[in-house]
Structure 1
């Protein structure tokens, strides 16, 4: 079942998972693929996003506060106080992944994290170092959480880097969205996980993904 929602980051995915009944369908395998929408920069201080996300968990309170703010705020914001920062900072990104892993296991599913590949050559040269370096940090965090929790890991970024050709568009439609070839490659990487989740070899693969040493 495809339960992914385009444009969501790990925070939104975690909230949706808590409010939906998708885990009540007792999936055998849950793939967790976040990173790009988490690391995208927005013009606001990091603490603003942190408290807005907390308020979003209590939507009635958020509605009241937003209406009050709109009625009294007449001044233009001082943009010098703002800086561009990730929508979901790394520490919260890792927290969200751990919570999703825990929820998947509590539902009896095998959680599998996926790193997010990207094609740096499809970006303008001036933006390559910044975006590439940021996404690499979030992929590193995915690997770290997989090690710490014992969750499954499909290191799609590493595989895609090894499979890269002279044609930057061979696997990608743009910087982060892959084409049919890219989707086929990911499907091939997930096949062993689907097999073991359904009781077929390689069974040891899923046993490694069901460890419960997550904090």
Structure 2
């Protein structure tokens, strides 16, 4: 598990913000991913919330140089395996179940499992995970909650996601137990629909400098 944690951290540490994307049209995924990579955001999470999601992961994995594409909203072992076959370099789940954790243990592709309480963090640590998604971040207690966990649960690193924006991202990024944050603000739906890749690259560039 330690090797997979290192592999996951090498991806998450590429940038302070991991774009969390809902892709309605797989054809737009390549242009969108290229725009994000051009702005410095090379680790990209495509959520499995639309019929186009798996095709989008496959297209980005095959056609976007420099991108590390991951699949998010993975809810079961079947979806885990399908995302890996599509080319995902990391997997993200909103929580954890025995089925998802078993799939992760049997795969070389690292899992970023979700946790929203001290008990869930402890359970994941017992299962061998020390890098987790804190979700839904703002609704579950925000940066103040994560700061409170940093001492009793030292050695655990988080990627908070949910309700994070340009306005509050630095509150999280300043914490010692936060490696990066996840956010959708770098790829607004209207910009994606319009194919405004230059605008998205600008937003990505701003996000890339957040921890500077």
What is the TM-score normalised by the length of structure 1? 0.28
Higher-helix-fraction structure: 1
Higher-strand-fraction structure: 2
What is the TM-score normalised by the length of structure 2? 0.28
Structure with max Cα Rg: 1
